[in-house]
């Protein structure tokens, strides 16, 4: 099918006529995008105020090929970022990191950095709610794991322990977050179960 802009649709439906093929794998969005959509829903519904933290960037070189358009040619990260999202829910500060893995059996700790762990510890020490949202993309499962549970494995790896968090541990210590239409990653229900 050609659309009015003259471009061909990239959507192809190989299902036989009369039968709809339902495929929920990856749902065409990344975890971060799903959380952004969820946060927008929470904001509009008056549930919580949570935003993605911008990564501080130092712009070094900008070209102006046209008067109305600027193109950044060179930029650097000013500092290491902490976690991905922060905000307020039920009068409590919340702060979390979102990670996806293609691994089916564990979450590799190489996906997390020391400065992020240090930040999570600080948030916990000051009474904030801090956690990770981990998506196992091959299993199409998403979990909220309290940062304290992740930090146990993080610290143990330096004493000869595992370099990953086993999937069964995440299932046991975390809360599975089912997919919803409006709040795609409805982590607020998991926060309610764990903290309230």
- DSSP for 63-92, written as a single string: EEEETTEEEEEEEEESS----SEEEEETTE
> Does the annotation flag 82 for ligand binding?
yes
Note whether 86 and 52 are within 8 A (CB): no
Within 10 angstroms of residue 162's Cβ, the number of other Cβ atoms is 13
> Does the annotation flag 79 for ligand binding?
no
> Does the annotation flag 116 for ligand binding?
yes
- Which of 175, 185, 173, 166 lies closest to 98, judged by CA? 185
Q: Can you tell me which residue has the tokens 């065409």?
A: 28
> Does the annotation flag 176 for ligand binding?
no
User: Binding site for Mg(2+): which residues?
Assistant: 82, 84, 97, 116
User: Binding site: which residues?
Assistant: 82, 84, 97, 116
């Amino acid at each position: 099918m050609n659309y009015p802009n003259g471009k061909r649709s990239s959507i192809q439906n190989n299902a036989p006529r009369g039968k709809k093929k339902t495929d929920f794998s990856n749902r065409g969005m990344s975890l971060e995008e799903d959380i952004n959509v969820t946060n927008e829903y929470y904001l509009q519904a008056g549930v919580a105020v949570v935003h993605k933290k911008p990564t501080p960037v130092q712009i070094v070189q900008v070209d102006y090929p046209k008067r109305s358009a600027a193109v950044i040619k060179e930029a650097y990260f000013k500092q290491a970022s902490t976690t991905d999202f922060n905000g307020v829910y039920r009068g409590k500060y919340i702060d979390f990191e979102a990670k996806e893995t293609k691994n089916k059996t564990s979450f590799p700790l190489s996906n997390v950095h020391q400065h992020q762990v240090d930040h999570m510890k600080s948030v916990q020490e000051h009474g904030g709610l801090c956690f990770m949202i981990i998506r196992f993309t091959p299993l199409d499962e998403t979990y909220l794991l309290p940062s304290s549970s992740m930090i146990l494995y993080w610290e143990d790896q330096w004493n000869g322990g595992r370099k990953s968090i086993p999937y069964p541990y995440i299932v046991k210590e975390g809360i599975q977050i089912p997919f919803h239409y409006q709040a795609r990653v409805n982590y607020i229900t998991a926060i309610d179960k764990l903290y309230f």
